Chains A and B, each alone.
Chain A
Amino acid sequence: MKRATVWLALVALLITVTTVGCGPAPTPQVIKETVPVEVTKEVVVETTREVVVTATPVSPTAVPEQTGPATIMLYTSVPEGVVVPLVEKFNAENSSDITVEYYRAGSNSIISKITTELIVGRVQADVIWVADPAYPMSLKKMGLLMPYETPASIPDQFKDPDGYFCAGRVINMGLAYNTNLVSAEEAPKDWEDLLDPKWKGNVGLGSPLFSGTAIDAYQALRDKFGTEGEQSSKYAVYFKKLADNGAVVVSGQEDVIRKIASGDLKVGMAVDFMVRQQIDAGGPIAFVYPESGAVAIASPLAILASTDEPEAAQEFIDFCLSQAGQEFLVQLRVLSVNLDIAPPEGVPTVPEILANAIPIDFENIEKNRDGLLQEFEYGMFMAP
């Protein structure tokens, strides 16, 4: 009895082992498979785009065949406080019976999820909206994006030259402080003020391991203040000094805001609109645009080439970029990419911010994302 059971188990295991051993190696095949799949998708895209072009001048109700009832999936790192009202507004108001569903997570979780789905076979997202423009640059290179129409009201500086993505909002990384613990006079005015020993152990920043905004800010400030060391012991001077000043690396950008508002931290690097939302909620926090310039990021919207609903995706993006959509974002304290729309009260205009902003080498982030993250980790946690 016992012996036979052993055999049964062994045979079962053996079958498993041999199938795996003889079968094709799973990983590489998929990655190679994606190329031809993309090609076919591109073809599909080409044909559908023609339809879009012909349909554009006509009002949407005149062409019910193209934009009938559809459901599209949005993967986004835009916080729920912004994306939920926006999606609800679109779902309620669009005339083509399109329903947008969304999956909200930090930039890196979105990237991991899409990577997983690429390995699995198909990306479930039709549209993505993340903070860091370097990611759609990667997707564009991999041939996974579909070009789309953008309204003329958005300046070209916010658009990919080949039309594969376009920014839907401008977010700025600057400085924040707790107004109960820090007066406006002693609050930091520029990036280097965070290195003041009076903030020792009280400075916070978001981690590039979670947040796309944080990796853009890392790239910008790393180039501004320079790096030291070689190879695996290279580090960014500014961030090493922050670490020496006892800086606390929390996970997402929202966590920085929470910890400053709660008084656990006194100052930190933070994203402007999140601070404004927290102020609206009654939190004791204030935002400062640094004197030597903020890290200004145009957060991009893109359509995946694998989408089954290109028209619906286009219509959602049209809504986001429209006058009404952008004005709605400004009501939610976000800065618009439509420069004709006035910013929220008491906030500098987007051209003012951009004129002074620290340049960001997105190409390097795109090419060297992993290296940058390792460098950050070394400088923050390991460098002597």
Chain B
Amino acid sequence: MRLPRREEISVSYLVLGAAILVLVILVAWPMLLLFVNTVIVDSEFTTRLWREVFTRRQNYTALRNTLYIGVLVTLGSTVIGSFFAWLVGRTDLPFKGALKALLMLPFLMPPFIGAIAWETLLSPRSGYFNKAFMSLFHTTTPLLDVFSTWGIVMVESIYFYPFVFITVAGALERMDPTLEEAARTAGAGMLKVMKDVTLPLVSPSIMAGALLAFAASISNFGIPLFLGMEKGFFVLTTRIFIYIKTQSASFEGLQLGATLSVFLLLASGTAIILEGRLLGGRKYAILAGKSMRPHIVELGRWKPVFLALCLVFLFVAVLAPIGSIYLVSLLKVYGQPVRWENLTLNNYYHELFKDSMIRGALRNSLVLSVAAATIVMIVGSVIAYVLVKTRIKGRKVVEFFVMLPYSIPGTVVAIAMLLAWTGKYGPNLYGTLWLILAAYCAHFMALGVKSAAASLEQVHTSLEEAARVSGANWLKTFGDIVAPLIKPGLVAGWLLVFIPAFRELTTSVLLVSTHTMTIGVAIYNRLEDGYFLLATAMSGIILLLVFVGNLVITRVTR
């Protein structure tokens, strides 16, 4: 690359400096306060909290459980996600558009609602699947007890495979098909092309998706909370939660929880390093300047088999839990058999028209998630550009601060935000939506950066160089060449942030007050109050809204 002119330097510095400033304000500063609080108690330096956390046997058990679940979920998600991405992206399977939309559905489900949906299906005695299984085979042993390690692994895999599915499907769409065609022309068979050309080309995306699934699994709170606690099965997030709960009368619980979250950092830090190692030096520029139809694999006589596989998976893993949520939401009393006389629309009526808090929560969540997704994608794509397209030395530090808030549980992000933005060191944002917005931006920055980076990695530098040679400055190059090329990736990234932010629970739960209630917390409160039917009705409404919103956005941006 030739040396940039002076005025370009100032513009690029300004943009990068602004992005980094946002990162420092949103992430570095609150996180530093958090760590300071783990070693300074009563104005004195102490290692007491660390010793307490690192000498407890239960914490090591929780770490082992976290990694065990994390690895199995990553494997499960990667296999399911990559397979279906290939199936709907690169084969002549019929109804691909509809199948793709349906396969994305689990991503729209809040994981803790998913856990409850699966409880209605696989609860050892009253779950619909287990009941059907037991009466079919005349046994008292359930098919699968959802309140078990395997239950957790299965439910998490079902809700986290879309991370892999999205990134891999995106890569397959953008991949230069001439490479595959060249291999075919050279006489390679379908399987050989897949193995030697397609798979290596999408492997960075598979890896990126797998890491997102891993990070989602180890930082997930709702699923192990609802499915693991009954049997005393703890992971790090639920262990941190226990610290905060059991020391609830003092600040020490928050401090111990924050200290334990360092365990989680170790786990996710390892993942980041691993990614660097695994992908080290292997950069693929597979998005060329020309657009072409992707190469389609003909399934031939295997077509019905793959279609059946797809449909069975969709029915069992995706549609049944959603259907179960809607079914339960129509019941008059939980546990009643599904008969015409037991059905009612009252739960919906109550949530939509009787409760003003629910309406406020809906509005807040909408404002927060749109704002967070937009900020994250603007700042995130600039940071991603720094990470991917420059050789700046501090890149790894920037990357660390981006990944940090995503890899620790939302509860801890919330504590950090409370420490930083409640008037002791600056403005007091407590009780305002700004506080929650700051937490969302920090928490989801990693998703924005990662998705923008994945797209940027595939834009060949030659395109930018061409623009530069023709006299465009850095900003113009970014705006006119890079941004349009990565636009599908940015839109996907925007959705990747918007949807989890819309029904976020873990972070919000510590930050909301009555006027800043979010929809995730509203549903959780319903569940905690035992209004299971109202919670399912509300979930039904949310799913519908998210699904319709998703359709509209993809239509508009196509």
| Residues A251 and B390 in contact, CB atoms below 8 Å apart | no
B125 within 8 A of A: yes
Q: Which A residues from 98 to 130 make CB contacts under 8 A with B?
A: 101-106, 108-109, 111-113, 115-117, 119-121, 124
Q: Which residue of B lies closest to A28 (CB)?
A: B42
CA distance A255 to B514 in the complex (A): 24
CA distance A111 to B247 in the complex (A): 10
CA distance A112 to B525 in the complex (A): 15
Q: A5-B17, A370-B247 are in contact. Are A25 and B422 (CB under 8 A)?
A: no
B423 within 8 A of A: yes
Q: A112-B244, A262-B334 are in contact. Are A13 and B423 (CB under 8 A)?
A: no
CA distance A376 to B251 in the complex (A): 22
Q: Which B residues from 99 to 145 make CB contacts under 8 A with A?
A: 123-126
B249 within 8 A of A: yes
CA distance A149 to B424 in the complex (A): 36
CA distance A27 to B333 in the complex (A): 47
Q: For B37, list chain A residues within 8 Å (CB).
A: 25-27
A92 within 8 A of B: no
Other-chain contact of A13, B44, B397, B419, B422 (Cβ < 8 Å): B397
B246 within 8 A of A: yes
Of A1, A101, A109, A380, most buried by chain B (CB within 10 Å of CB) is A1
Q: For B386, list chain A residues within 8 Å (CB).
A: 5
Q: Which B residues from 19 to 53 make CB contacts under 8 A with A?
A: 20-21, 24, 28-29, 32-33, 36-37, 40-44
Q: For A106, list chain B residues within 8 Å (CB).
A: 528
Other-chain contact of B24, A16, A27, A103, A274 (Cβ < 8 Å): A16
Q: For A344, list chain B residues within 8 Å (CB).
A: none
Binding-face segment, A156-164, A280-288, A349-357: A280-288
| Residues A5 and B530 in contact, CB atoms below 8 Å apart | no
Other-chain contact of B393, A6, A25, A111, A252 (Cβ < 8 Å): A6
A23 within 8 A of B: yes
Shortest CB–CB separation between residue B272 and chain A, in angstroms? 18
Q: Which residue of A lies closest to B355 (CB)?
A: A84
Binding-face segment, B8-16, B273-281, B308-316, B479-487: B8-16
Other-chain contact of B422, A115, A120, A248, A251 (Cβ < 8 Å): A120
B391 within 8 A of A: yes
Binary contact readout A1-43 vs B (1 if CB under 8 angstroms, 0 otherwise): 1111110111011001101100111111111000000000000
Binding-face segment, B79-87, B178-186, B425-433: B425-433
Q: For B398, list chain A residues within 8 Å (CB).
A: 9
Q: For B96, list chain A residues within 8 Å (CB).
A: none
Q: Which B residues from 224 to 239 make CB contacts under 8 A with A?
A: 225-226, 229-232
A263 within 8 A of B: yes
Q: For A370, list chain B residues within 8 Å (CB).
A: 246-247, 249
Q: For A20, list chain B residues within 8 Å (CB).
A: 29, 32-33, 36
CA distance A209 to B334 in the complex (A): 25
B476 within 8 A of A: no
| Residues A24 and B36 in contact, CB atoms below 8 Å apart | no
Q: A1-B4, A282-B332 are in contact. Are A258 and B418 (CB under 8 A)?
A: no
Q: Which B residues from 476 to 513 make CB contacts under 8 A with A?
A: 509-510, 513
Shortest CB–CB separation between residue A113 and chain B, in angstroms? 8
Q: Which B residues from 303 to 354 make CB contacts under 8 A with A?
A: 332-336
Shortest CB–CB separation between residue B360 and chain A, in angstroms? 11
B245 within 8 A of A: yes
| Residues A381 and B232 in contact, CB atoms below 8 Å apart | yes
| Residues A80 and B529 in contact, CB atoms below 8 Å apart | yes
Chain A interface residue count, Cβ-Cβ cutoff 8 angstroms: 78
Q: A263-B335, A274-B530, A381-B232 are in contact. Are A13 and B28 (CB under 8 A)?
A: yes
Other-chain contact of A25, B40, B125, B392 (Cβ < 8 Å): B40
Q: A27-B37, A115-B248, A369-B249 are in contact. Are A264 and B126 (CB under 8 A)?
A: yes
Q: Which A residues from 300 to 341 make CB contacts under 8 A with B?
A: none
Give the number of A-B contacts (CB < 8 Å): 206
| Residues B514 and A258 in contact, CB atoms below 8 Å apart | no
Other-chain contact of B41, A27, A73, A373, A381 (Cβ < 8 Å): A27
Q: Which residue of A lies closest to B530 (CB)?
A: A254
| Residues B333 and A26 in contact, CB atoms below 8 Å apart | no
A81 within 8 A of B: yes
Shortest CB–CB separation between residue A4 and chain B, in angstroms? 6
| Residues B28 and A16 in contact, CB atoms below 8 Å apart | yes
Other-chain contact of B245, A5, A108, A257, A264 (Cβ < 8 Å): A108
| Residues B332 and A281 in contact, CB atoms below 8 Å apart | yes
CA distance A28 to B250 in the complex (A): 11
Q: For B4, list chain A residues within 8 Å (CB).
A: 1
Chain B interface residue count, Cβ-Cβ cutoff 8 angstroms: 76
CA distance A124 to B253 in the complex (A): 21
| Residues B391 and A251 in contact, CB atoms below 8 Å apart | no
A199 within 8 A of B: no
Other-chain contact of B418, A111, A116, A283 (Cβ < 8 Å): A116
Of B32, B245, B254, B528, most buried by chain A (CB within 10 Å of CB) is B528
| Residues B528 and A251 in contact, CB atoms below 8 Å apart | yes
Q: For B246, list chain A residues within 8 Å (CB).
A: 209, 369-370, 373-374, 377
A79 within 8 A of B: yes
Of B245, B250, B423, most buried by chain A (CB within 10 Å of CB) is B245
Q: For B42, list chain A residues within 8 Å (CB).
A: 25, 27-28, 31
| Residues A263 and B423 in contact, CB atoms below 8 Å apart | no
A382 within 8 A of B: yes
Q: For B74, list chain A residues within 8 Å (CB).
A: none
Shortest CB–CB separation between residue A112 and chain B, in angstroms? 5
| Residues B530 and A26 in contact, CB atoms below 8 Å apart | no
A250 within 8 A of B: yes
Shortest CB–CB separation between residue B242 and chain A, in angstroms? 6
| Residues B529 and A5 in contact, CB atoms below 8 Å apart | no
| Residues B24 and A263 in contact, CB atoms below 8 Å apart | no
Q: For A121, list chain B residues within 8 Å (CB).
A: 422-424, 428, 430
A249 within 8 A of B: yes
Other-chain contact of B424, A26, A249, A274, A380 (Cβ < 8 Å): A26
Shortest CB–CB separation between residue B31 and chain A, in angstroms? 10
What are 29 residue pairs bridging A and B, where the CB atoms are less than 8 Å apart in the complex? A1-B12, A2-B392, A5-B386, A5-B390, A6-B392, A6-B393, A8-B17, A12-B21, A13-B28, A25-B42, A26-B36, A26-B419, A102-B514, A105-B528, A116-B254, A119-B254, A120-B422, A209-B242, A248-B147, A251-B229, A253-B530, A254-B531, A255-B530, A258-B335, A258-B530, A263-B335, A282-B333, A283-B335, A377-B246
Chain A to chain B: the 10 pairs with minimum beta-carbon distance, closest first: A254-B530, A381-B232, A262-B335, A28-B42, A120-B422, A2-B392, A373-B246, A25-B40, A111-B248, A6-B394
